[in-house]
Structures are given as C-alpha cells and as structure tokens.
Chain A
C-alpha cells in the first residue's frame, strides 16, 4: 500500500482526484448556499491564495513584506486589461495576472532583498505606494475613476480549486530542497550561506512565487468585483493579508488557512454590531495575539500533534481492553 502511494503516477492521479472532488463539492455547495455566504466563501478563497504567497515570503523565508497589495493590484489590472482589452479568456487572464506580478516580484526583489527586517518592510511599503500612484495616473487603468466592465467570471469552484492547488504546491515546496533553503534563510542567513545556500537566489524565488500568488488572487478579485480602482489596493490591504499570516501562525500553512477563514469571515459575522464592528474586530485580534502570541497554529507541528492524538486514543483503547 505504501509502495503504491510512492508511485509518481498514483500520486498524480490522486492529485487530480482531489482537484476534481474540490470542484465537484464546491459546485454542489455553490448551488445550495445563499449568494451572500457564497461571496464570503469566495473572498476567503481569494485571501487564502494571497496569504499563502505572503506566508512563503514572510513566514517561511522570513522577509517582512508590507507591499503585498501592490502585487495583487498588478495582477488585478494586468488580468483586467488582458480580458477586457484583448479578449483573453478568463483563466488565461488569471495566469497573465500571476505572471506579470511574478515578473515585478523578481524585478523588485533584486534591489530590495539586500535589505533585511524593518528596512525591507519600508522598502516594500514604498514600492506599494509607487505602484498605487502609478495606477492612479495611468490611462490604460482609467486612473482614479477605476477600471470598469470586467466580466464577473470568477466562481466559487474555480477559486476553491486554485486555492487547493496552491495549498498542495506550497506543502510540496516546503518539503523540498528549495523549501528547506528558504526556512534556513529565515533561521540564520550567515549559517545558510556557510552551508552553500545562495541566499539572494532563494529570497528572490520566494518573492517571485509569493508575488505570483498575489497576482492570481488579484486577478480573481478583479473578476469578482467587476470593478477595480487603485484605492482597493492601499496599505490596509497589505496589512489585512499580513494579519492573516501572522494570526494564523507565521510559516504554518494550516495556520494560514484558518487565519484566512477567521479574518475574512469575522467582519461579516460581526456585521450586526453595526458601528462597533471594526472595534470588536480589532479587540478580537488583540485577544488572539495575547493568548496565541505565535499565531493560532504557530509552532504547532500538525503532523506530530495528530500522531500524538492518535497514539493517545490507541493507548486508551488498549487500557480499556485490559
């Protein structure tokens, strides 16, 4: 059985099965759920895709980026221009959004990734502002008025399938030679280069993949709201995505999933509180960070925890049988 699972073809088929199942289930859910809840689910998916990208940059590689919304906006505008002006099909537009954002990630990565910590954060923040101002003044993006007439092609199954693909690829990446190199850079840069890791290369790789995810998320976002304007992608958007990663637990993929669900759903659940909504939301964040300073799943090795729980129940059963 174990040998069979190790076979590449079997794994590939399993991968396709998971995707098919996701699409099927989400499609079925989509038929039942009221549109309002479906919209929340859709945004959870979009935020998750973007947060997984930032998790790779900030959580895994340890490079604090405050400009994730910039890559999102690049993806959103690039895909919108592609689908509206050049009649590229929707999924092609999403891919273009991701690739353009990725390209910018690489271009921006080269000069800024020499910086570390707070300095990098400020540099990425500056980059995000430049991008926003640029979009406000460009003709092709229709400036501050906003880009109109994008088709609402994004559907719940599409978002969820892309989100599941992203999760699987991120898990694979983290357990590979490249992923370990990125983790090593987070832990100790000097020791990393002493064992032969080209720190600049892997930082740029992480940045490029993270930017790609943000671009895809932005493209999906643009084709959900059908209208985008530069103010959609301000500093607060970057902070929102960063909060998901930090609250979920830096570097933890399951944590990011939970963070995306909690932080996207919370403002909607708190809607009955009317004017106090964002205040309670803020208090919620503070409380979570006090009780779980490393994030909801920060520092939890899920595989180990599940194994331990499994062993415990086994032991209990054995005890009862005696």
Chain B
C-alpha cells in the first residue's frame, strides 16, 4: 500500500528543471532510499514533499490527501517530519526544549492557556515532557536533556534532530543525509536506530550518499540523475542496473557526461 505518492512531479527554477516528471511511491512501513550523484535533485524532492517548494507540475499526496498547496507548517501535522542535510537545530535552547518544540503540532494550548495556566494546560505540558523524554531515551540522549543543543557533539546533534522529528509521531520520516559527517562506528549505530524507528511503524524515506548504509538498510532504492528517476528496485537490482552504473561511474564514453 502506498503511503506517499509523487505523481509526475516537476519543478523548474527558471530554465533549470531540477526535478523532472518523477513518479514515486513510498509504501507503508518500508525503508526507501533515494540516491543519486550530487545535484541530482534529491534534496529538492524533500523540499517539494514538505511544501518548501511547490511543484511546477504534478501532484504529491499522502494517504490520498493532496499535499500540494498546503503551507509547510501544516505538513508536520499531517504526519510528515524531516531532518535537514545541514543540521538545523535550535542551538541556544536546551535539548529537551528542542524536542518539545518538535511536538508543537500535537499540542493545543494557545495564548489564553499560557496566561492562565489552567490544569488542562499543565496536563498537556506534562504529557509533552513525558513524550519528549521518551523520544530522547529512544535515541539515547536523555542524559543530555539539560544541555544546550549547540554544545552537543556532531553525532548527538544528528540524533537530536531525529528525536525532534520523531516526537510528533509522524507517519513518515524524511531523513536528508543522516550519516553525513559521521564516523564508521556512528554509522553502524545510526543504521540500527533507523531500523528501530521503522519497527515502531514509521515509514522511512532517506536521501543518502553513503552506499554502505544505503545498501545495508534500505528495502528499496530509487535513483535520481539530473532530476530524472532512472532506476527503482531492491538494492541488488539497483546495484547491477546499467543506467545507475553509468550515472555514477560514467559509460566509458566521453560524451555521455556532458550535459546537453
């Protein structure tokens, strides 16, 4: 069953077609990786899904509900959260507050509740804190909850970003190069973590450069080159796909890598 559907999605920036008629289905409960050479349009796909960009043509839908035209801040509420290629935390806030903010879309309290501190608001706060601590425990960060986010190590910051995206209990989690800048040991831990997240019922869609990680955890891989989807299939199929090898290593013919 497909959870997230990209239907003929195209986006043009002036004369550049960054994503070109991409059709892609993310199935419920799977780990899908999107790979491709630098500048292939992978992050643009994520920005399209989260409504940061609007597609020039085509439609994106989650569970049959259209995502196109919906403002970015409502996407999280619909069940899609993400991490960023360059870490985007709230650096001057505590780790716990970072995660609590991640649960923003699950809260209801408004200004009136903030100024009156009624019991209902207190209950919501307590619940939010409990969920935040659970998310931190899940990613093994609970010991650092009082620290400021900017004081965490690089790997911890990456994990905190995942915790922040997880706390709102999304249907699908978009990970944009989660392993970037990690050492081999950290990558092994990350792979384990991604699997554990999937086992809680959250669908994972990731963009990654690290082939070992991609081949190790994904059930399906989609390959993007110059904005076009050139292959889709299991890791084994993709690995032996001719078009993929060409995109990554070249065809052996000089001309093919020159962009027309």
User: Which residues from chain A sit less than 8 Å from chain B, CB to CB?
Assistant: 6, 8, 11, 169, 172-173, 176-181, 183-184, 187-188, 190-199, 205, 209
Number of cross-chain contacts by CB at 8 Å: 102
B107 at the interface (CB under 8 A from A): yes
* Contact A187/B90 with A176-B121, A180-B104 known, Cβ cut-off 8 Å: yes
Residues of B within 8 A of A205 (CB): 111
Are the C-beta atoms of B117 and A195 separated by less than 8 Å?
A: no
Asked if B113 is at the interface of the complex by the 8 Å CB criterion, the answer is yes
Shortest beta-carbon distance, B126 to chain A, in Å?
Answer: 10
B114 near A173 with CB under 8 A, answer yes
Q: 1/0 per residue B158-197: CB within 8 Å of A?
A: 0000001100100000000000000000000000000000
B73 near A198 with CB under 8 A, answer yes
Give which listed residue, B81, B113, B114, B118, contacts A194 with CB less than 8 A: B81
A11 to B110, CA, bound (A): 20
A interface, over-half SS: helix
Asked if B104 and A187 make an inter-chain contact with CB atoms under 8 angstroms apart, the answer reads: no
Q: Is residue B82 within 8 Å, beta carbon to beta carbon, of the partner chain?
A: yes
A178-B114, A188-B90, A205-B111 known; A194-B50 Cβ under 8 A: yes
Q: CA A192 – CA B90 in complex, angstroms? A: 9
Q: Considering the chains assembled together, what is the distance between the CA atoms of A8 and B125 in angstroms?
A: 14
B72 proximal to A (CB < 8 A): yes
Cβ–Cβ contact B104 & A197, under 8 A: yes
- Which of B73, B88, B114, B168 lies in contact with A172, CB distance below 8 A? B114
Residue of B nearest to A178 (CB): B114
Residue contact A188 to B89, C-beta cutoff 8 Å: yes
Q: Are B89 and A11 in contact (CB under 8 A)?
A: no
Min Cβ gap B82→A in Å is: 6
* B105–A195 touching, CB < 8 Å: yes
Q: Can you name 19 A-B pairs with beta carbons within 8 Å?
A: A176-B109, A176-B114, A177-B107, A177-B113, A179-B114, A183-B90, A183-B101, A187-B89, A187-B91, A191-B90, A193-B71, A194-B84, A195-B104, A195-B105, A195-B168, A196-B73, A196-B104, A198-B71, A209-B111
Q: Would you call B76 an interface residue if the criterion is a C-beta within 8 Å of the partner chain's C-beta atoms?
A: yes
**Complex CA–CA separation, A197 to B90 (angstroms):** 13
Does B93 sit within 8 A of A, measured CB to CB?
Answer: yes
Q: How far is the CA of A178 from the CA of B109 in the complex (A)?
A: 8
CB distance from A59 to the nearest CB of B (A): 11
Q: State whether A180 and B97 are in contact (beta carbons under 8 Å apart), knowing that A173-B114, A187-B91, A198-B73 are contacts in the complex.
A: yes
Q: Does B77 contact A (CB under 8 A)?
A: yes
Whether A193 touches B72, Cβ cut-off 8 Å, given contacts A8-B119, A177-B104, A184-B101, is yes
Complex interface: chain A residues within 8 A of B97 (CB): 180, 183
Which 5 interchain pairs have the tightest Cβ spacing?
A196-B105, A196-B76, A176-B114, A187-B90, A191-B88
Q: Would A195 and B119 be within 8 Å (CB), given that A176-B113, A183-B90, A187-B92 are in contact?
A: no
Q: Which residues of B contact A196 (CB under 8 A)?
A: 73-77, 104-105, 168
Contacts of A194 in B (CB 8 A): 50, 72, 75-76, 81-82, 84, 88
Number of B interface residues in the complex (CB < 8 A): 42
- Output the least CB separation between B169 and chain A (Å): 12
- Which of A11, A173, A190, A197 is within 8 Å of B101, CB to CB? A197
Query: How far in angstroms is the closest Cβ of chain B from A86?
Result: 28
Q: For A199, what are the chain B residues with a Cβ–Cβ distance below 8 Å?
A: 73
CB of B102 closer than 8 Å to a CB of A: yes
Bound Cα distance A179, B110 (Å): 10
CB-based contact A184/B90 at 8 Å: yes
Q: B86 to chain A: closest CB distance in Å?
A: 10
In this complex, what residue of A is CB-closest to B108?
Answer: A177
Q: How far is the CA of A173 from the CA of B115 in the complex (A)?
A: 6
Closest chain B residue, CB of each to CB of A6: B122
Partner of B117 from A8, A181, A183 at Cβ < 8 Å: A8
Given the complex, which residues of B lie within 8 Å of A8, measured CB to CB? Answer: 117-119, 122
- Return the contact of B73 from the options A179, A180, A188, A193 (Cβ within 8 A): A193
B215 at the interface (CB under 8 A from A): no
Q: Which residue of A lies closest to B121 (CB)?
A: A176
- Measured in the bound complex, the distance between the Cα atoms of B165 and A169 in whole Å is 30
Q: Whole-angstrom distance between the alpha carbons of A209 and B110 in the complex?
A: 13
Report the bound CA distance from A184 to B103 in whole Å: 12
B100 within 8 A of A: yes
| Contact B101–A181 (Cβ < 8 Å) | yes
Complex-state Cα separation, A194 to B71, whole angstroms: 10
What residues of chain B lie closer than 8 Å to A178, measured between beta carbons?
109-111, 114
Q: How far is the CA of A190 from the CA of B86 in the complex (A)?
A: 12
Interchain nearest-CB distance for A249 vs B (Å): 12
Asked if B52 is at the interface of the complex by the 8 Å CB criterion, the answer is yes
Instruction: Kindly report which residue of chain B lies nearest to residue A185, judged by CB atoms.
Output: B90
A178 to B164, CA, bound (A): 17
Query: A187 to B111, Cβ gap below 8 A?
Result: no
Residues of A within 8 A of B104 (CB): 177, 180-181, 184, 195-197
Q: How far is the CA of A6 from the CA of B104 in the complex (A)?
A: 23
Q: Which residues of B contact A191 (CB under 8 A)?
A: 84, 88-90
Q: Which of A178, A179, A195 has the most CB of B within 10 A?
A: A195
Q: Complex formed: what's the CA distance from A177 to B128 in Å?
A: 10
With contacts A6-B122, A194-B88, A195-B104 known, what are 5 further pairs, Cβ within 8 A? A173-B114, A177-B125, A178-B110, A188-B90, A196-B104
Bound form: Cα–Cα A169–B113 in Å = 11
